[in-house]
């Protein structure tokens, strides 16, 4: 009985880790997107550079979600 309970706790911890990692990645992507929109609003001529850097920043933020999902047990 104790072994089953311990295994369940480990599985729940992995699920919580994955959920928090995905939540953090979503916050990161939202923050990068908001700042990109703000930057283009201030300087519309730099929208190409801002878009490139925003996409790169969002990809790096999404990497956190993949790490959390793959490393969570």
CATH number, domain of 41, equals 1.20.20.10
d(CA 27, CA 7) in angstroms, rounded, equals: 31
Domains identified in the chain, total number: 1
pLDDT confidence of residue 56: 95
What's the pTM value of the predicted model, to 2 decimals? 0.77
Q: What is the pLDDT of residues 20-73, one digit of tens each?
A: 989 999 999 999 999 999 999 999 999 999 999 999 999 999 998 888 888 876
Residue 35: give the domain boundaries: 2-71
Please say whether the beta carbons of 64 and 25 come within 8 A.
yes
Q: Of the candidates 70, 61, 56, 73, which has an alpha carbon nearest to the alpha carbon of residue 24?
A: 61
Q: Of the candidates 73, 72, 68, 34, which has an alpha carbon nearest to the alpha carbon of residue 54?
A: 34
What is the C-alpha R_g of the chain? 18
């Amino acid at each position: 009985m104790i072994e089953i309970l311990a295994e369940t706790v480990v599985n729940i911890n992995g699920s919580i880790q994955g959920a928090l990692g995905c939540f953090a990645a979503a916050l990161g992507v939202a923050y990068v997107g908001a700042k990109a929109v703000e930057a283009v609003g201030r300087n519309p001529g730099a929208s190409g550079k801002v878009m490139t850097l925003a996409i790169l920043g969002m990809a790096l933020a999404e990497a956190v979600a993949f790490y959390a999902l793959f490393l969570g047990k």
